[in-house]
Amino acid sequence: MTQQAVRKTPLTVWISLGLAWLFVGCIAVQTLFAGMALFHDGSMWRSHTLFVHFFEIVPLLMLILGFAGKLPAPYKWRSLVLLLLVFSQYLTANLPGAGAWHPVIAIGLFWLAVDTARGVLPSYRREQKG
């Protein structure tokens, strides 16, 4: 990446990139807490249930920034899907019989979050060229 490309990229794109990677990291930590609770110390469930409140808003911020910063449509759509998947995690954690879907959705959340983070700059640059 050239110095000129860095200067031409709006701050909203860089913040969006940071939020996307922050969300990826938070999902990894959340998964770690669940694993620790299952395999080491059951009291870690409290950390698992509390930590989500720290990062559950990140996809909403990504979505708002996507529109405010005029980011490409795929970023906005993915941010919306991430937000919906976070809500679905609450449903599967609290709806009897739906708990088996909770870790499956977590895998999807992580995959989509990584894919979104990796695509922020390339999709913005493609949109600017074409």
Range of the domain at 85: 13-129
**Secondary element (H or E) of residue 74:** helix 73-94
Q: Decide if 39 is inside a domain.
A: yes
Distance (Å, whole) CA 73 – CA 103 = 28
Q: Decide if 2 is inside a domain.
A: no
* Tokens (6 digits) for 128: 């600017």
* Tokens (6 digits) for 57: 């808003």
* Tokens (6 digits) for 30: 């959340």
Give the model confidence (pLDDT) of 69-111 as tens digits: 999 999 999 999 999 999 999 999 989 999 999 999 999 999 9
Give the model confidence (pLDDT) of 23-53 as tens digits: 999 999 999 999 999 999 999 999 999 999 9
Q: Decide if 1 is inside a domain.
A: no
Closest CA to 37 of 46, 24, 27: 46
Domains: count for the chain: 1
Q: Decide if 25 is inside a domain.
A: yes
Distance (Å, whole) CA 124 – CA 75 = 9
Spatial contact of 65 and 16, defined as CB atoms under 8 Å apart = yes
Per the confidence metrics, is the pTM higher than 0.85? yes
Spatial contact of 78 and 87, defined as CB atoms under 8 Å apart = no
Q: Decide if 6 is inside a domain.
A: no
Q: Decide if 117 is inside a domain.
A: yes
* Helix extents (H) in 9-72: 11-39, 44-55, 58-68
Spatial contact of 22 and 61, defined as CB atoms under 8 Å apart = no
Q: Decide if 88 is inside a domain.
A: yes
